[in-house]
Structure 1
Amino acid sequence: MTTLNTTLPARVSPLVGLRQTASLAWRGLVQIRHNPMELGDLSFQPIMFVLLFTYLFGGAVMGDPVKYLQFMLPGIIVQSGLMATMNTGMGLSTDLHKGFFDRLQSLPIARWSPLAGRVVSDVVKQGWSMTILLATGYLIGFRATQGVVAVLAAFGLMLTFSLLASWFAVFCGTIADEPEKVMMYGFTAIFPLSFLSNAYVPTATLPGWLQAFVKINPVTQLGDALRGLLTGGPVAQHALLGLLGGLVIAVICAPLALLRLKRR
């Protein structure tokens, strides 16, 4: 009688892990077809933010809503991107509590691929959110003056930063004892980063003691890089510093998330 060898491989190669990541990312995107409202937060909230900030604060900050929109829209793209990363943590926490990850652990799969697959699928969704922001801005007067290539570079820069920063949301998803707490943990960090920046007001208008933090805030650096790509100005140094901030987040949070997931 022949005995089948059912021993699973001890390790999964990086190439196989990448294929598994792509499959799990595709799973996250296909779910939109069955639940289109997953894109609701990434569609309605950006539109609301653009309209509210432009018409409520544009006249007070710069005396002209359209002029303020040219300054503010790149900053609001960064803020919306950060907030959208928390959907990654929420989805991950839901999968954990529904037992989806328990089923994956019984398969010959790279331990990091479920986390990476979730991050990749949600970064693609953020591309949709950024498109909505720019389209809304164009409808009410925003104009990108640096050409199509610069706009595509802005997409690439923002999505790369989101890919790195999403690991903070992933870590929140692994430590939250229920999905609803992910947002509470995440916004505790995201709100100070978003509003203690030059996303909505020029740095020079802030008190001197606050300017020191605002200048080193990665949200400020990334916002200035997007302004350079969309409306003109320095790009390279701001982009590098912004991505460095995102890399620091990923280097700290990705190992902690994997360790936490392993111990669950």
Structure 2
Amino acid sequence: MTPFVAHAGPGSTWQALLTAVCLGLLVIAVLAVAGRVRIASLDDLVVPLAAVAVLSSLAPLADYWLSDWIGWAFPMGVVLLVGVLTAALTPLELHWRFPFAWGIAALAVVAAVTLYAPLTRAWHPPPDYLPLADDASVAFVVPEDGDVIEAGTLEVAVAVTGGSIGPGAATLEELPADPEEAGGLTVMLNGERIVVDYLESCTIADPCETVTFPVELEAGEHDLHVEFTRGDGIPLAPQVTDRVRFEAS
């Protein structure tokens, strides 16, 4: 079985960003093949790639859907990037009149079809590959949704019911048979994953039901997201999450 090297499920910002970049490369390649964009040197790529960078920054607005496309978008994007750079650095032309363009198109399709399944299992595993969540739930105790708090260090409190929280970063062999016991927490602040250190001593043998950890907050609005996972970081199916939005002043 392909190992799970990263999973973020619906809403993965890094997968959405990577997908958006690959889709941007697809647009550039299609325009070049159609003769709408000429790629004969690296200078010809400055404006198209700048446009891709700007548009891909909007990927988090549609991260729930874009992240699902990573399995086929990434291998296709890698092939298209190679094709675009080759056209810019060599006499080969990325135009429908030349075999090079058709070769790149065929290779992109083959790469997307061939690598879709293994990449999806590794980066974005479907629920069938994930341990099942029976009755576990996770919730923020502090802060609550809509709170207005002081900027600085906030001791966040998270509680799990129907399961327990272990030390995290455990191996599957060390964990209980029940994937909801001695689980882990993945915490994201404003869309960025943060490393948290529990103030409690949670072990596999003596797990916790509630943990607290400090988070540094600047003034402004904040979005805090937590996902309860198996103790080795593998997500549960369905996902067990909670989210709060609050303001620091």
Q: Say whether the fold is shared (TM-score over 0.5).
A: no
- Specify which structure has the higher proportion of helix: 1
Relative to the length of structure 2, the TM-score reads: 0.29
- Specify which structure has the higher proportion of strand: 2
Bigger CA radius of gyration:
2
